[in-house]
Amino acid sequence: MQKDPYEWVKTMPKGVPIVITGSDKWTDIRAVLSVVHERRRQVEAEGWGEKNDDVHINGALAAAAVCYAMPAAGVLAGFSEKLWPWEKRWWKPKDRRRNLVRAAALLIAEIERLDRETTARTAAFENYIYQKPHR
């Protein structure tokens, strides 16, 4: 039987704190840690890092996230597999929580990709403006 990769999150003490900026309130961060762990797993175990993510300029990462999230929301549950943006062999739904964690990690991958794309565009524009003579 395969070991649950989220077991370490389940065994964390309840109420592991993190300070919310500008407040004296505390919140439990197990869900956030689960998403960070899943994103790290996607990169390290599956090999889905920057090079792979940067190829998906058509919104496929966000679409995959939606496919994992829809059944958890009770929306179009039977259609997720049909909407899956990649080969069927990569569609691996699990339980509701794990699917939401995967969805969040895929959204982070898409946000990171957009940030890299914006940075690259800005650098290219600045290079053009500051290093090319204007006519």
More confident residue, 101 or 3: 101
5-52 pLDDT, tens digit per residue, is 555 555 555 555 444 455 555 556 788 889 999 999 999 999 999 999
pLDDT value for 19: 43
- The rounded Cα 92 to chain-centroid distance in angstroms is 15
Domain spans in the chain, listed from the N-terminal domain onward: 7-120
Average pLDDT, the chain: 81
More confident residue, 4 or 118: 118
pLDDT value for 31: 87
List all residues 6 or more positions away from 105 whose beta carbon is below 8 Å from its beta carbon.
35, 38, 39, 42
List all residues 6 or more positions away from 6 whose beta carbon is below 8 Å from its beta carbon.
34, 37, 97, 98, 101
